[in-house]
């Protein structure tokens, strides 16, 4: 269906009115990353920045100074000789490598700052010799062999003397006939020139001996001062106030004075933070009320910070580092770092896009605007002036342009329109549920829809797209290869079709069961890459024959849900996922996400487009990204690692052998290139402790306890997203053995052990001797006891019959020995046993024995001869022997004895004999027994002595 010319003119008028109504926006968004308290910056009021020659980034805040180690910010303070707190105003490096820090009322300097391997080793000392005014806008600039610093509205010069000594601050003096302005608001240096701006509106320049040439700027800037100054060349400088800027050319003695756009009163109380900074491409950067803007010599272009419309930060400082990355200091939001500045540019709704969800792109002709399809309409981006103009509303999933420069776009869900950009005529065709428009290499245009694949021939523009009867199934995505063959998806099938009606091949057998194709590219006339829900497949074909099909191995950091693919002029393959961009270039994969500058990791389906200059446009769910320099995008910055500190307890590891300690070994480290700081990982190993390499993303490791000895610590870093590794660094850790494990101690231990062994042997021998003696005593006692038991009666304790007979045997061995023998018998003992029992009888015998024992002596032997009989042997030849025996008998017999059954009177009868010469003992016993018998027969309780017939 074709629109009439009349209707087209009406639409053209409406479109022109829209251009007038909608503002022309010169803007883009800077991709940035913020660093704040989560990265260690406790005070997010950033005032100044400095990158040291060794790579460390220093950041001054309203309450102290920090340095960045690639992982987090570390604070410098009293340990380095700085105040505990204070508002940092400015930082600079002097010609001798010393670091100068300006507070609002004092300055500090530290030597060798550019070569020191860790800023914590810096040692600062205060500068003396001049009274510094409390200055909230103090600035320091390197000049000649020292630095210039503001002191109120005047200047002082601090000269570098030697490698470590800094001279006293001296006031800056001009040559006779010229004066140094005393109301300085801004200054800058260029080569040997010194430029000044003053409160009175003058801009002055001096050289050599400081003879100043001043020009009064034109215009009225009441209540405003030139607070920033940038020098373009020896004769030209640019100044700005809160709302105005001026260009001064002293050679021509001309000045221009203009109003700054996008500025009102935002910086009225923060004008001391204003700056003018040249970019590496020669643009001038400065603040606007709601962000940054740059000046290309003709126009100002706004640079947005992401999501800043909700909270415009005060921007205080700007720093370009060696990799041309911009570091942006803010008040309240911390420090921001641009991501791939000059390589990646972003646009969003705040920059003029109709909607942040970007689906498609096309550029109908060289140097023409880029047409952008979003979720809410179509926009035109003039990339030469970076201006976005809305064109038409409505969700636009796909856009394409043909070989004739016509623009094809959908309108709603049932119409596709061909817009002739030469004469602005439009043709509309009914086409339901369009998914993608695929331009061919000649006059062919392909339309992939839910109803199937349609084809249009631009040689017959009035004939709309027609359905290919062989391809009636829904199709989502496709591509035309160098042979002008359409490769497209139909469900899980991949079909190849050549106009007008030749179906070449179709295949689906090589895919995994759950693979759904969503993107397709033709790398060459034989190689097709297909992306989908679980990765990428590569098909090699020849004509209508499929030669091979293999699944591509993606890096683990890459997403596997492929929604967009692109093959560019460099033979690079781009794949868009929900986790960012994956790029196959030079035989390896790279992965990029928001840390590389993308506005979102969620790439839109079909949202990749190669521009005529080889740059890449990326559509995401949060805006449009332009990779304007893909080669720089891939540029690798070497990973530079450093060891910040290594300590055993509180002792630093510095190559010395450290004393033994049970304290932990702690090692901190970092890296000095910050482009991929979120992706850097460390691998480390302590030889002699770790069996394998360990991995961490932290900037430190801790070994709770290591044994004495020598170890080597190895460290390197790598980026799995870019397949990049650092050089390895290592150092030795040596800990001495404790004194108790030294050779001297071991010799001492040997001596002690030898002494102890000798002592133990001595003690053992002594012990054995003592034990032997004890054993002998025990044996002797036991032998004596056994002998005693063998010789004594168990009941009475007197000598038993055998012992008495042995003694009698010995006594009678001498024929001439003469001794007395007496037998005692208990009278009526049987009656006692019968009446009271044998126990009582035993008691009687024991009591009689106790009485008899009283008379045992060297000459008297007493024993129990049997039953109730007792025997007494006396070796004395005393005439009183018989008398004594008679007394013994009578003493026992006349006493009543106490028993368990009561008191009884017990009497004894006795027989007494004396041995005759050569008489044996048995005969003697017989004689005594006869005497006893006689005593019993004659009435008992008496004694009979045979020798003298004595009876008692």
Q: Which residue numbers are catalytic?
A: 868
Roughly how many angstroms between the first and final C-alpha of the chain, as a whole number? 177
Q: Which residues pair with 362 in a beta bridge?
A: 371
Q: Which residues pair with 141 in a beta bridge?
A: 148
Q: Which of 638, 529, 523, 636 is nearest to 590 (CA)?
A: 636
Q: How many residues does the chain have?
A: 952
The C-alpha atoms of residue 394 and residue 509 are separated, in whole angstroms, by: 39
Q: At what angle do helices 881-893 and 838-853 cross, to 10 degrees?
A: 140
The C-alpha atoms of residue 731 and residue 656 are separated, in whole angstroms, by: 12
Q: At what angle do helices 838-853 and 829-836 cross, to 10 degrees?
A: 140
Helices (DSSP H) in 63-152: which residue ranges?
none
Contact yes or no for 292/338 (Cβ under 8 A):
no
Helices (DSSP H) in 399-445: which residue ranges?
none
Angle at 391 (CA atoms; ends 389, 396), nearest 5 degrees: 120
Contact yes or no for 280/274 (Cβ under 8 A):
no
The C-alpha atoms of residue 768 and residue 495 are separated, in whole angstroms, by: 105
Q: Which residues pair with 228 in a beta bridge?
A: 240
Contact yes or no for 55/640 (Cβ under 8 A):
yes
How do strand 651-652 and strand 64-68 relate by DSSP bridges? Answer: unpaired
CB atoms within 10 A of CB 711: 19
The C-alpha atoms of residue 390 and residue 394 are separated, in whole angstroms, by: 11
Element (H, E) at 540: strand 535-542
Q: At what angle do helices 921-937 and 801-811 cross, to 10 degrees?
A: 120
Spell out the SS3 assignment of 441-469.
CCCEEEEEECCCEEEEECCCCCCCCEECC
The C-alpha atoms of residue 715 and residue 694 are separated, in whole angstroms, by: 10
Q: Rounded to 5 degrees, what are φ and ψ at 668?
A: -115, 145
The C-alpha atoms of residue 55 and residue 672 are separated, in whole angstroms, by: 6
Measured CA to CA in angstroms, residue 426 lies from 374, 381, 734 at distances of 21, 21, 82
The C-alpha atoms of residue 397 and residue 843 are separated, in whole angstroms, by: 132
Q: Which of 241, 251, 156, 238 is nearest to 195 (CA)?
A: 238
Up-side HSE of residue 14: CA atoms within 13 Å toward CB? Answer: 9
Sign of CA dihedral 672, 675, 677, 682: negative
The C-alpha atoms of residue 354 and residue 349 are separated, in whole angstroms, by: 6
Measured CA to CA in angstroms, residue 58 lies from 166, 327, 806 at distances of 20, 11, 119
> What percent of the chain is helix, strand and coil (3-state, nearest 5)?
15, 40, 40
Contact yes or no for 456/444 (Cβ under 8 A):
yes
Is 1 exposed, middle or buried (CB count within 10 Å of its CB: 0-12, 13-18, 19+)?
exposed
User: Please, what's the largest Cα pairwise distance for the chain?
Assistant: 190
Sign of CA dihedral 761, 767, 771, 777: positive
Q: Rounded to 5 degrees, what are φ and ψ at 847?
A: -65, -40
């Amino acid at each position: 269906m074709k629109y009439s010319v009349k209707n087209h003119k009406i639409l053209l008028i409406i479109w022109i009115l829209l251009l007038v109504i909608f503002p022309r926006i010169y803007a883009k968004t800077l991709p940035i990353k913020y660093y704040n308290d989560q990265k260690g910056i406790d005070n997010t009021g950033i005032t100044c920045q400095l990158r040291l020659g060794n790579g460390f980034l220093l950041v001054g805040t309203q309450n102290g100074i920090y340095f960045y180690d690639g992982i987090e910010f570390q604070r410098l303070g009293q340990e380095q000789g700085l105040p505990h707190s204070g508002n940092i105003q400015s930082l600079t490096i002097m010609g001798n490598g010393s670091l100068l820090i300006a507070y609002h009322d004092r300055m500090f300097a530290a030597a060798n700052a550019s070569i020191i391997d860790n800023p914590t080793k810096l040692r600062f000392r205060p500068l003396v010799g001049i009274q510094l005014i409390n200055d909230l806008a103090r600035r320091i600039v390197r000049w000649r062999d020292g630095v210039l610093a503001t002191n109120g509205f005047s200047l002082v010069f601090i000269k570098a003397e030697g490698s470590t000594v800094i001279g006293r601050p001296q006031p800056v003096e001009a040559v006779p006939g010229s004066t140094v302005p005393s109301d300085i608001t801004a200054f800058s240096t260029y080569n040997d020139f010194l430029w000044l701006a003053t409160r009175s509106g003058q801009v002055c320049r001096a050289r050599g001996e400081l003879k100043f040439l001043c020009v009064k700027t034109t215009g009225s800037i009441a209540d405003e001062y030139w607070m920033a100054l940038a020098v373009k060349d020896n004769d030209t400088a640019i100044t700005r106030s809160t709302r105005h800027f001026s260009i001064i050319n002293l050679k021509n003695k001309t000045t221009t004075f203009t109003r700054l756009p996008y500025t009102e009163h935002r910086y009225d109380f923060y004008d001391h933070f204003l700056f003018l900074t040249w970019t590496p491409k020669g643009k001038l950067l400065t603040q606007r009320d709601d962000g940054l803007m740059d000046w290309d010599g003709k126009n100002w272009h706004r640079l947005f910070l992401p999501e800043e419309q909700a909270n415009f930060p005060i921007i205080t400082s700007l720093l370009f580092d060696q990799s041309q990355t911009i570091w942006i200091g803010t008040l309240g939001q911390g420090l921001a770092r641009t991501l791939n500045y000059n390589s990646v540019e972003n646009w969003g709704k705040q920059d003029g896009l109709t909607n942040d969800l970007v689906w498609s792109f096309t550029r109908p002709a060289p140097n023409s605007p880029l047409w952008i399809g979003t979720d809410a309409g179509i926009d035109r981006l003039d990339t030469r002036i970076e201006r976005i103009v809305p064109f038409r509303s409505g969700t636009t999933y796909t856009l394409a342009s043909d070989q004739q420069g016509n623009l094809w776009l959908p309108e709603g869900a049932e119409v596709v329109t061909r817009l002739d950009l030469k004469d602005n005529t439009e043709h509309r065709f009914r086409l339901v549920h369009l998914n993608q428009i695929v331009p061919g290499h000649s006059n062919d245009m392909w339309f992939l829809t839910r109803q199937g694949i349609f084809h249009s021939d631009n040689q017959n523009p009035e004939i709309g797209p027609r359905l290919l009867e062989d391809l009636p199934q829904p199709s989502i995505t496709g591509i035309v290869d160098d042979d002008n063959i359409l490769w497209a998806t139909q469900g899980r099938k991949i079909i190849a079709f050549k106009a007008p009606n030749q179906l070449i091949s179709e295949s689906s057998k090589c895919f995994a069961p759950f693979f759904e194709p969503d993107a397709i590219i033709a790398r060459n006339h034989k190689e097709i890459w297909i992306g989908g829900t679980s990765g990428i497949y590569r098909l090699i074909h020849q004509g209508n024959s499929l030669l091979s099909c293999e699944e591509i191995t993606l890096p683990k950091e890459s997403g596997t849900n492929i929604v967009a693919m692109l093959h560019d002029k460099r033979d690079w393959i781009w794949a868009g996922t929900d986790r960012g961009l994956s790029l196959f270039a030079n035989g390896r994969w790279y992965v990029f996400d928001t840390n590389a500058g993308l506005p979102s990791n969620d790439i839109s389906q079909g949202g990749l487009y190669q521009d005529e200059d080889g740059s890449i446009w990326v559509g995401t769910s949060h805006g449009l990204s332009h990779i304007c320099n893909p080669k720089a995008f891939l540029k690798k910055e070497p990973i530079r690692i450093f060891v910040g500190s290594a300590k055993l307890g509180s002792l630093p590891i510095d190559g010395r052998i450290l004393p033994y300690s049970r304290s932990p070994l702690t090692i901190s480290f970092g890296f000095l290139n910050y482009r991929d700081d979120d992706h850097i990982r460390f691998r480390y190993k302590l030889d002699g402790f770790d069996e394998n390499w360990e991995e961490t993303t932290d900037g430190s490791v801790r070994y709770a306890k290591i044994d004495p000895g020598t170890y080597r610590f190895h460290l390197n870093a790598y980026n799995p997203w870019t397949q990049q590794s650092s050089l390895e660094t290592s150092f030795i850790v040596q800990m001495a053995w404790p004194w108790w494990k030294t050779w001297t101690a071991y010799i001492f231990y040997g001596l002690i052990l030898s002494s102890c062994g000798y002592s133990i042997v001595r003690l053992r021998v002594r012990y054995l001797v003592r034990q032997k003696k004890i054993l002998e005593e025990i044996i002797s006692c036991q032998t004596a006891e056994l002998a005693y038991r063998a010789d004594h009666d168990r009941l009475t304790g007197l000598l038993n019959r055998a012992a008495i007979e042995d003694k009698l045997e010995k006594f009678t061995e001498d024929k001439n020995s003469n001794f007395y023998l007496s037998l005692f018998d208990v009278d009526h003992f049987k009656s006692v046993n019968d009446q009271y029992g044998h126990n009582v009888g035993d008691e009687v015998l024991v009591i009689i024995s106790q009485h008899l024992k009283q008379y045992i002596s060297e000459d008297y032997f007493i024993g129990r001869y049997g039953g109730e009989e007792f025997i007494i042997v006396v070796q004395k030849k005393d005439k009183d022997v018989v008398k004594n025996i008679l007394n013994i008998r009578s003493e026992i017999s006349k006493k009543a004895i106490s028993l368990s059954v009561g008191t009884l009177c017990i009497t004894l009868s006795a027989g007494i004999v004396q041995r005759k010469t050569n008489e044996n003992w048995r005969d003697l016993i017989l004689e005594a027994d006869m005497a006893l018998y006689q005593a019993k027969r004659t009435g008992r309780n008496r004694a009979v002595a045979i020798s003298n017939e004595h009876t008692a």
